[in-house]
Structure 1
Amino acid sequence: MRYLPRICGLLLISAVVAACAPKESAESTEATPATAMDSAGREDFGATVIEVPKPQPQWDPYENIAEIDWTPMELSSGQAWVSCDRDYAVNGDGEPLAELGFSSIWKRMQPCRETGMVRLRYRGKVASDFTALVHRVADMGDTLGIHKRILDIDSSGGQVEEGIRAGDAIAESGWMVWVREGAVCHSSCVLILAAGDMRMIAGPVGIHRMLRIGSKATSRAELNQELRDIHEQTSQYLQRNGAATAIADLMMTVPNRSLRQLTAQELELFGLSGRNAAADDLDRIRLGRKCGETFVRRQDAFFRDYSLLCTAQGEEVAGMGECSRDLKKRYGFPDRDCPTESPLSEYD
């Protein structure tokens, strides 16, 4: 009994200390420091450690497209013309465009607001100023409400990287691509062809090995590594634009000094002519919601017949367009409820 007062005193002191101590907030998320360590050398607070997986990088359709700064620049890698009319046989190529500043392009494209269509004729190399040209014309088209765009190209090729950059810009801005009779599309120009929503081809299309401009390779091993990098970039680009990656493989077998001309059957097989498969998939989803499934089925039937009847080898691009106009009447296009969504509306 003689220890009872001491015990009671200790209990009383403990109760007072507990009452005066600050209470831990229920909302606090901070852990109490501890000296125990887990097997990985981290402090162990007695809680389960959850490793949050890093998000996987996804392809960005704009990663290869330079931001438009509209700094005035000259077109030095080729020649360009702007027309508001698709009829090149009667009205020619349009007005020349050499300056790529905002005001210059605006002056050339402003008249096209009436027709709602622009045809950009380009003859020259695929280079950085060509990329700027198609990117700026598309941006000006958005500004002026001109959404029907034709790239009328004649090019023997150029820089692979710029072909990919220009192609990604074309793919995201709704271009029809022509290779007219008398024009050619060789080497990296094929990358431009792959990007178009619709391709009309009358001139020859050819491929060969594509080398990096300014290569520093001093041995076959170094050159082979560069070619592997180019092949990988090209394959990924072709795949996301609905074309066959087999084109990249075939390119590797043709010496740079030579040229392998693709037949009409190969162009179709590799997804380089007619309707772009990637663009078609997106359109089917969008048109199904906006215009209905019956519209989509009629459009599918139209494009099947168009491919059989209007794109024979040796046919002129102008003839392909006129053939499409007659064929559309059979399938009820332009559609009464969705006239601007009708196939090949550039010819309405």
Structure 2
Amino acid sequence: MPVHHATTYAGDPAWRVTGYRTVRRLLADPRLGRTHTDPDHASRYSESMVFGRALPASPTEHDDHVQLRRLLTPAFSARRMARLRPRVQDLVDGLLDQLTAQDQPADFHQAVSFPLPVLVICELLGVPYHDRDDFRRWSDAAADMTDRQRSLDGLAALWAYMRDIVARKRREPGPDVLSELGAASDDGTGRFAPDRAAMIAAGLLFAGHETTVAAIDKGVVLLDRHPELAADPERIAGAVEEILRLPLPVPVADGPAPGLPRWANADIDVDGTTIPAGDLVVLDLQDANLDPDTFDRPAACDPGRTDGTHLTFGHGPHYCIGAPVARLELQTLFATLPRRLPGLRLAVPVDELPARTTHLTGGLAALPVRW
């Protein structure tokens, strides 16, 4: 059965959906969304203010989403990524220079995994890199799935910061995404009013670095366990897709299954089980990415895999708009590591790596390595 009763991180009831085909279908189902007609009484996924609870329903939700995608898509186009690629390579080389200047073992998470996505998203959005310690702290707090007040304070601080940045971009625009958001806030429709533009910007800043940090950490761990990931430079794109598909191979305590929370806005029949309108649905992307009916030897790490497309970035109208920049960063880094650091390896056993189990994006708190 692909539908199961579950309990969320917040202790509320939900439906957990598994299996590649079912999860993929529901990712594109318009009857599932992030809003609810009574969000204060809806099941919560977690205590985090980011994806942790339902948003108020809006009659313009669909149109607003279409307008937002239309506005942001050019920022992540193939042409823009091609222009950005040399700069990402320079950033990777510079960070690896700094890493190798340190004593061994060194923390790869602190030296490379965190600063690379931050540097890139700062350039794309037009956010000052020197503010990184502040928005890193706020993002970390906002993603806390156990402390509602900490998460609320972090999101409020991030939003206030971005509100100031968007206001500045409206006065002094530049060749960046926040300047485009600032211009859209003056279009007279009210859809991108300054406060909403700031919230969108905060979401871009959060998603643009937090998720990729975790993916880089995971990639280094997988590279340590599966050297074949870096064996063929011609298959680096496939290696990155396996890094994105496979779970972080770090033992964690049993608990609620992670997934993508969505709320049903109508009754939905899923293979004979009716999910009532208003219920919380957790789409288990990890289970889908390991479905043996879709992936041959799903736990194997195969850069030449051609039997399926992972769902890490979602599917359908809400497919992650930042996927191209995440792929660019990962491909550049993991193509460079075998050349620059052929002896890169973990400095501690995998089961001693500190997993961030209460953080929305997961990942590691530290990644000690030698080279």
TM-score by length of 2: 0.23
| Higher RCO by CA contacts (8 Å cutoff, separation 6 or greater) | 2
Larger CA Rg, structure 1 vs 2: 1
Q: TM-score, normalised by structure 1?
A: 0.25
